[in-house]
Structure 1
């Protein structure tokens, strides 16, 4: 739809826009941007001339000129003729065709739920690691089981959490995904069943399929209240008793994507049932440190020595460390090492020395990070409630993401449209088996407040476009979204 907006109509839409918290041109540009993203100013509409808007607002023309320039720079206003630019939305400049490709310039990436490095802490750990490196240089550098200092630090961390652990029970890996691949290839054969929560972490589902195994999904219940069970333990126990899966992959600590945490009672019951059925519980603890509500639970391995635990520094400290681990009994660790040496002969030594420092002082950066994440969570929940009230949003207890139920099965359609509005998404079905979760979308709160505001505005605009075009929703639902890396 094309047309123009007269200055009186725009001023009415702006409302009380000038709070004085920022320069006037910034505040004016921000409010116009939000009006465009919210759909209250349609696309391809010519804004008033700089002179006319300045006169109506009682501002200098310089202020309006700067605001329009900012909108053009952000991609919300075309160059146009003179000052009569037309409203638009930043759109992607290159297709995303394969996992792992860089996000095109101008897109916010909501497919990744990850944080930047805990800067000073990580930098200091690497500086310290370089001072320790000379002592290891006379060796060959192949550490298939991991550098001893890091294995000791991880073992001590488990012991401090009430799970006595020796360094011989630890295998250091190149991240949690590497750890899961090693575990699956050791414990599950071709066509073996692997029980998973439904929804689950997409990269774990991919690893299960890549190992030739069959994911066996058990649905998580809908949360109706704070007292409703977060896991359907009855269904999981029944599945283990009747299907006898070789392995169960679980994320009981701030589950990805829902942010739920499993109670101690549920953990105890699940480990007992796994022991009775011969199912090995593989527990992903990568998000355990991101405890936003201070919920106290014991690690799953506290209830059974047969539990295989996977951990990582990727979510708590920095994914660029590429450092993870497996905790299990020593006999299993020996088997995992044999499997690992077919894939690689060990991880980088300097990163492991730095990781040892970080594990020893694990909580050092967390207080500030958790406070930032709590603020981001509240910001995102507030924005979703205000701009997308028809979405049913589950409040996470920790972790990095919010799991949203959409009013219609349009997750893939939203994912296809989102880049045209400046964001990249991971469609709900990526988190499930058999095309499930078209009604759902995962939204991370790892971005700063201003970017979360932009992201929700983009989601609102994409939802508006779908609501206005039922035919488009049906067409896009059956389309195949571009492959994107998910974290």
Structure 2
């Protein structure tokens, strides 16, 4: 299979503001760090072929020697493979070891918003192994998922204000797998898909992987821009719109009742299918979210995605699709080309977790709320020029920086073994260079240690002395 070639202009947009003229770090090293960050983030996918040295140097307005040195450094680290006459191709080292210029600490991933497993996960799988005996006389194949689990999921929707039957639910291998299945059923190459902007980066990857074009509707300072949403649907005639109303990733905001009503009405009026991602819906810290968006207008075509990953554990690769029974039947036919169903052991474990969630979810929310509040206090203390709102739910803060420094900061963090989620991961065409996403799922001691390691990097990058920081507080 031939490599995908990345144009120099597209690469320039992804790189963002990677240069810092006042830095003592050589320019070639800054470029190498920024390119490595794109590879580790997955924005430069494996087997991508980069532009030639001369073309890239001209686009980035640097010397060819700078580009050649950066690419040579990445080749030495195992991130590029070059052949004479065919350019450089993205690869990964044999073991993913983040290069380090420092011996301070071990590598830490602050780009992933997820929790480790609690003791209830072991209980769930123990119960699942016991319960599985009953199913061993059957084939184990099921496109829709086990009836008992679908009934449990349907009951959850009904309790939240959206009456649901088991035949309106399909169990899939995670919400992202569900999105890919919906895209396969509803879209074709070149179709437009409207998304919030910023949005979940793997959703954008799935949309682009389906050969569709994501079209962003910018989120205002608070809430959602319903007028902009309506205008974008009218102007672009998308095949569908992907939204995350419940503790939106990355901003953490929650769509209110009036906005849900308006969005549903717009979708019904324009006959646009809404794909609603409820991955974070159970992670609320003050008040639970309003009823599901699908409950607000019976004329709207709404497909809802759910997941056990954030609520229970990411290693439980299980999600679901809630839609009309006709849509579910069509999805089942489409699924034949992808897989033959979700592993039974995961379904039995998820069913036990749903039946017993009242015993552990409240404590999980209380723990995350405490970590959220502690993370906010630490950032206010050590990074007073970062601006952010306390998220209503979810697992992370959306940080506005005082300047377009996200790529540079994330690239520098890699050198001390900390992987950050630069805002550009969550935007289209390199947007959100002024933003970072900082998860608070890490226990407080580890999070404080990570922030203290990042603090001198930020101060050097932002040309700020400690005395100045203290006078601002």
Q: TM-score, normalised by structure 1?
A: 0.73
* Residues 419-445 of structure 1 deviation map (CA, whole Å, 9 limit, x = unaligned): 223311122111010110000000000
Describe how 1:175-254 pairs up with structure 2 within 5 A.
Answer: 175-223=174-222, 230-254=223-247
1:427 corresponds to 2:422: yes
Task: Indicate how the Cα distance of structure 1 residues 412 and 377 shifts in structure 2: closer, same or farther if over 3 A, else same.
Answer: same
Deviation (angstroms), 1:295: 4.2
Deviation (angstroms), 1:450: 0.8
Separation in 2 of the partners of 1:211 and 1:406? 33
Answer yes or no: is the 8 Å Cα contact 1:250–1:283 preserved in 2. Answer: yes
Is the radius of gyration larger for structure 1 or structure 2?
A: 1
1:297 corresponds to 2:296: no
Answer yes or no: is the 8 Å Cα contact 1:217–1:433 preserved in 2. Answer: yes
1:450 corresponds to 2:449: no
User: Which residue of the other structure, out of 345, 369, 373, is the alignment partner of 1:374?
Assistant: 369
* Residues 30-76 of structure 1 deviation map (CA, whole Å, 9 limit, x = unaligned): xxxxxxxxxxxxxxxxxxxxxxxxxxxxxxxxxxxxxxxxxxxxxxx
Aligned to 1:417: 412
Answer yes or no: is the 8 Å Cα contact 2:254–2:289 preserved in 1. Answer: no
Aligned to 2:108: 108
Answer yes or no: is the 8 Å Cα contact 1:246–1:278 preserved in 2. Answer: no
* Residues 322-372 of structure 1 deviation map (CA, whole Å, 9 limit, x = unaligned): 010000001111121122221111111111111111122333321111111
Secondary structure in 1 matching 2:161: coil
Aligned to 1:27: none
Task: Indicate how the Cα distance of structure 1 residues 169 and 380 shifts in structure 2: closer, same or farther if over 3 A, else same.
Answer: same
Separation in 2 of the partners of 1:216 and 1:340? 26
Residue segments in structure 2 that go unaligned for 5+ positions in a row: 1-76, 80-90, 99-104, 465-473
Q: TM-score, normalised by structure 2?
A: 0.75
Secondary structure in 1 matching 2:357: coil
* Residues 172-210 of structure 1 deviation map (CA, whole Å, 9 limit, x = unaligned): 011111011001111122111111000000000100000
1:265 corresponds to 2:258: yes
Deviation (angstroms), 1:452: 1.2
Secondary structure in 2 matching 1:218: strand
Separation in 2 of the partners of 1:401 and 1:447? 10
Separation in 1 of the partners of 2:416 and 2:444? 18
1:131 corresponds to 2:130: yes
Residue segments in structure 1 that go unaligned for 5+ positions in a row: 1-93, 224-229, 470-487
Answer yes or no: is the 8 Å Cα contact 2:281–2:289 preserved in 1. Answer: no
Secondary structure in 2 matching 1:319: coil
Task: Indicate how the Cα distance of structure 1 residues 162 and 196 shifts in structure 2: closer, same or farther if over 3 A, else same.
Answer: same
Task: Indicate how the Cα distance of structure 1 residues 101 and 222 shifts in structure 2: closer, same or farther if over 3 A, else same.
Answer: farther
1:387 corresponds to 2:395: no
